[in-house]
Chain A
Amino acid sequence: DAGVIQSPRHEVTEMGQEVTLRCKPISGHDYLFWYRQTMMRGLELLIYFNNNVPIDDSGMPEDRFSAKMPNASFSTLKIQPSEPRDSAVYFCASSWGSHTDTQYFGPGTRLTVL
């Protein structure tokens, strides 16, 4: 398996623009997680899905952020409009399920908002 795939790997955009980050989880995994990492706040969970259904979105910063999982093999994280403080590395992870299962992380998308 290729592991968790994220695209793009790097994104540079201007403030106010829409940004869409993409994630393909490992086949067969029921859970998908979106994390964000910044120097100030470290690694923090934004949202996670179980069987394509959002379970906990309490980490989503504000209405500018939205995440979808239309099917088991694809998820998107959208920011609109983007702001400079959204600059961070965004990681997607997937797992089979329970709290004892390993989460496998993608390589991340480095987002820079100018």
Chain B
Amino acid sequence: DAKTTQPNSMESNEEEPVHLPCNHSTISGTDYIHWYRQLPSQGPEYVIHGLTSNVNNRMASLAIAEDRKSSTLILHRATLRDAAVYYCILTNFGNEKLTFGTGTRLTIIP
């Protein structure tokens, strides 16, 4: 299975944009890139996913590099509620399970 690499932690100021990077240099052509986050004392929750093109939803944007070896989760205007551990995960056909790494712990500074 292809592996992802994320920074252990990041800090951002409240109401500023946040760019969370993820490297997946061994990604295959059919791997989907998913982002989940886990708020304190809660189960993980879905944020966004994509294959090749950049994606936007009400929570965030996902920017995928042209060679797909990296991606960036963008929170356009961070709030205190966005403080969480963010996980970048790859899935593929026949591999529906989520393999969580250590993720990035995002701290929002008021």
Q: Which residues of A contact B (CB under 8 A)?
A: 4, 31, 33, 35, 42-45, 48, 50, 55-56, 91, 93, 95, 97-108
Chain A contact surface mostly: strand
> Other than the known A31-B96, A55-B96, what 8 A-B pairs have Cβ atoms closer than 8 Å?
A42-B102, A43-B44, A43-B100, A44-B100, A45-B99, A101-B96, A103-B36, A103-B46
Known A42-B100, A45-B98, A56-B97; contact A104-B32, beta-carbon cutoff 8 A: no
B46: chain A residues at CB < 8 Å are 102-104
Total interface residues on B, using CB and 8 Å?
Answer: 22
B91: chain A residues at CB < 8 Å are 99-100
Known A99-B32, A99-B91; contact A48-B96, beta-carbon cutoff 8 A: yes
Contact for B44 among A50, A95, A99, A105, CB less than 8 A: A105
A48 to B100, CA, bound (A): 15
A104 to B98, CA, bound (A): 12
B101: chain A residues at CB < 8 Å are 42
A97: chain B residues at CB < 8 Å are 96
A106 to B42, CA, bound (A): 8
B43: chain A residues at CB < 8 Å are 4, 91, 93, 105-108
B99: chain A residues at CB < 8 Å are 45
A42 to B100, CA, bound (A): 8
B87 smallest CB distance to A (angstroms): 8
